[in-house]
Chains A and B, each alone.
Chain A
């Protein structure tokens, strides 16, 4: 009996080839693979069903506040996949040897197979420096993804992983538990007849080799489950999600590239991918002349010679394309010089190239594969809440004041968020803080329902999670505060508690980069409403909304301190937002002090927009710092052509208080009374705007008081004369208000 521990990098074609070679050479009777041991009973779903790769094992753990999901992806170039299929074909005993997927040890990081490389950044950095390459991916390709005999590659792999983590080096965090478990599995296998091949992440290799000879030889007991709501399913996966450029930490970048190298001879695969890049660029109308094409090849040969490559590596091809095709300055470094998604501002040529090397393949699971839990969860929830769609359209009327109906509304909104066809909202409140209390839905089943649910299972195992994850992702993709806030509004319909911190955190990020006062004002208006008012969808103030509002306060201060230029309508809404934040928002003493200091500076700042200056004074007054005298003084000081805009800013925030100050109105009157006709007409539009903040009744009272003082009180009656149509509209509005008040039993006294 011999035990072979093969350390690999997930999804590496070189490692997949070594695995195939080793298995053929050794012909083991037991094959152990780093993977969730709780799936062993169903391992045939992977070994024997014919899936179209990539697919993934989708793990979830529910219950309480620790609901989590993770994935173990497989593609053709995964050494683990090669081992699984080899064992099934050869009739060897095959088992996953890692802790069960629900173990706490996995939920420290998001992906089960997250690279350990970053934890050993120092070793990696030294290696990259020695090889003169940018980063671990380039180093990997240089060392391993070159044509060579499997035996040589294996020997180099062993040396590499030895350097990354020398023997005797303890594993970080919870990996110790995993390694003990895996070592015991190997010890168990070593007692069985025949040889053993164990395939694990290269990071664990030395620890397993050291650990198994002294480990107990029984199959290890799995740790107890903290909840019964756990599961693992085979789900379709895609190259996009496999690509580390899209954020999957354990991925190899550019899965399409490695797939090509796997399916063809390395040189032919590289040539095909290069041609695909040129074609993709031309398809997008990016000019690539024959001379450019030649230059790419010349550059590629030169880079290969310099770097000592017999076959082009991914970086060689990318570098050659970059050299030959980019004819200008780049705004951000090429995406392959760092890990993670490409930065904003990546050159369009390079973005197309990276996308081409990623590939578009989307996996499909065998029809006989057990379905993921979301499908079941949705059907169960629909049945329990009497929402099962029928072939003939069916209408559901919901009273949102009824707890059961509100719950049904949430379920339907979650399905809507996931774009599941057949659940259409016909009527209902547009805004989750609205007081509309009813909704109408049209339900209808169809052939697209089931596939849509299957696909939506990528977002989560149960409906609530899936809907939330979907919104979170849409938020990540949206780059403007506007879009994110409207997604947030959308999200409130599924319940604010489900909009966990991550989602509000994303909104918060957008806040920090927003420069438009109008957008900030709209965000403040909505979020303050969510913070302060209760509605069917928003039952209580949520602390994270408070955090976003604090960020908005900081942003408001920043914008208020920087705005310059002429008056703009948005400045008025912005002033109101700033006032309301200071009045009602969760603003701490530091920010409050900073805000007031900024406003004080801007009141008399000659480069500040004139309406902002008026608003700044008003907000200071509103914040309890009496400005009535200063306001009168300012009215006398402001240039006439700016008076209207200045007053508009002031009245936008202080109509109820300073707007009634007789001193201020006297000062305005003094300025206007002396005007000739021409200047008056010039000042009129802005003045009208300023006084438009007063409702008609207040305007009338203002006018009457003014006439009184001028000794023309008898003309006051004429002010009230208005258009009949307007009057009728007013009466109608009044009736509606009364009806609403009556409906909610708010007409005090008379009842």
Chain B
């Protein structure tokens, strides 16, 4: 394995290896069977612990993390649902890194996902010469997770065809996988510590179509956008300036612009202004992750195209792209927001945003 520094994106267990080592050095609490560390240590890893210099990595309800861990310690799988950009996959990565020491047993769900990408496939050359033997079998993440007693992550599970989703049923209930080609030796029993974290996005083909049998074997946890404005602002500030530094832009996006951006996103997301005026919401998801990329894009545009820090004009350009995606009515929502709300607001960045409304494309 390469050093984390050389990787474009190291997995959580490598990126935070030193923090995990610190936690392991002092973890007197009981561990569920097969877990590499105790639930309390995992909670500290995910939510942070100032006293041990563990950074908070997931911003959200602490009780959600508790419920998720308890589900994983029992025989129910965990299903993380929520709008895009609410850090479901990130939470799943952190939990599996914390619980089983690896977060890389991942199945990426999609329309083309097949059973052999989930359970096992074959090395066809060996299969031809040796026939179906354990050596010619190529384990897929679920197989490995069961065999080693680890957490397997199933990303975007609802994007898979229903019959593919249901192929994990017996592994979740009986905790055994049958490999009929291997005959009598072909039963893989899950070792303690095995479990599954699935994620699904409420804007996709939701969880409603999922079979009742599978639903029954999963504990559902909904991950919500960040509730606290200041916390969200701090996250956008930190992440966008990190991304800009990475991209070679020395100037972060000015703070008053970030505040305008985060307020706009929060108000459009909630369909309500901070002072309680109810208004229309766009159909697009305005996640914190989206706000970070809007801020980053504005910073890059300002720096590389105009040689200066980002302005409201740069922001308006990338914001329009974020708000208006496939429904042109969202443009009206954004225009309405600018006309009804922003036009009344005073203060530098708000006035600049109002001035920058000319950047909006015309109604088609």
The residue on A at minimum CB distance from B206 is A329
Q: Does A119 contact B (CB under 8 A)?
A: no
Residues on the A chain within 8 Å of B74, using CB: 295, 298-299, 302
Q: Does A558 contact B (CB under 8 A)?
A: yes
Q: How far is the CB of B38 from chain A (nearest CB, A)?
A: 9
Residues of B within 8 A of A448 (CB): none
Q: Tell me if B137 is interfacial: C-beta within 8 Å of chain A.
A: no
Nearest CB of chain B from residue A509's CB, rounded to whole Å: 7
Identity of the chain B residue whose Cβ is nearest the Cβ of A307 in the assembled complex? B66
**Nearest-Cβ distance from residue A362 to partner chain B, whole angstroms:** 31
Which residues of chain B from 305 to 337 have a CB within 8 Å of any chain A CB?
329, 332, 335-336
Indicate if the CB atoms of A319 and B66 lie closer than 8 Å.
yes
**How far apart are the CA atoms of A324 and B219 in the complex, in Å?**
6
How distant is the Cα of A256 from the Cα of B65 in the complex, in angstroms?
27
Whole-angstrom distance between the alpha carbons of A463 and B167 in the complex?
Answer: 68
A509/B216 contact (C-beta < 8 A), A295-B76, A306-B39 known: no
Q: A330 is contacted by which of B30, B43, B208, B222 (Cβ under 8 Å)? A: B222
B55 on the interface (CB 8 Å rule)? no
- Which A residues touch B276, using CB under 8 A? 509
Q: Does residue A138 face the partner (Cβ distance < 8 Å to B)?
A: yes
Most chain A beta carbons < 10 A, residue from B67, B74, B279, B339: B67
Q: Is B123 an interface residue (CB 8 A)?
A: no
Assign chain B's interface to a size class: 35 or more
Asked if residues A512 and B278 are in contact (CB atoms below 8 Å), the reply is: yes
- Whether the Cβ atoms of B67 and A329 lie closer than 8 Å is no
Cα of A557 to Cα of B340 in the assembled complex, Å = 9
**Chain A nearest CB: distance from B256 CB in Å?**
23
Q: Pick the interface stretch among A108-116, A129-137, A574-582.
A: A129-137
Taking A299-B70, A558-B280 as contacts, is the C-beta distance between A328 and B207 under 8 angstroms? yes
Q: How far is the CB of B86 from chain A (nearest CB, A)?
A: 11
A324 and B280 CA atoms in complex are apart in Å by: 34
For the complex, what is the distance from the CA of A239 to the CA of B30, rounded to whole Å?
Answer: 40
A263 CB to closest chain B CB, in angstroms?
Answer: 27
B76 to chain A, nearest CB (A): 7
| B247 sits at the interface (CB 8 A) | no
Given contacts A132-B43, A326-B220, contact A558 B336 (CB under 8 A): yes
- In the bound complex, what is the Cα–Cα distance between A448 and B104 (angstroms)? 71
Instruction: Kindly report which residue of chain B lies nearest to residue A511, judged by CB atoms.
Output: B278
A403 within 8 A of B: no
Q: Mark B6-47, 1 if CB is under 8 A from A, else 0.
A: 000000000000000000000000100000000110011001
B339 touches A594 (CB 8 A): yes
CB neighbours (8 Å) of B207 from chain A are: 328-329
| Assembled-state Cα–Cα distance A299/B271 (Å) | 35
B227 within 8 A of A: yes
Q: Are B40 and A513 in contact (CB under 8 A)?
A: no
**Cα–Cα distance between A554 and B206 once the two chains are bound (Å):** 36
A residues 527-573 in Cβ contact with B at 8 Å:
554, 557-558, 561-562
Query: What 0/1 pattern do residues 271 to 293 of B give for CB contact below 8 A with A?
Result: 10000111110000000000000
Is there contact, CB below 8 Å, between A306 and B66? yes
Q: Is the CB of B70 within 8 A of A329?
A: no
23 contacting pairs across A/B (C-beta < 8 A): A128-B62, A132-B43, A134-B61, A134-B63, A291-B216, A299-B67, A303-B70, A319-B66, A319-B67, A327-B216, A329-B202, A329-B206, A329-B207, A333-B222, A337-B61, A337-B63, A512-B278, A513-B278, A557-B339, A558-B336, A562-B280, A590-B343, A607-B363
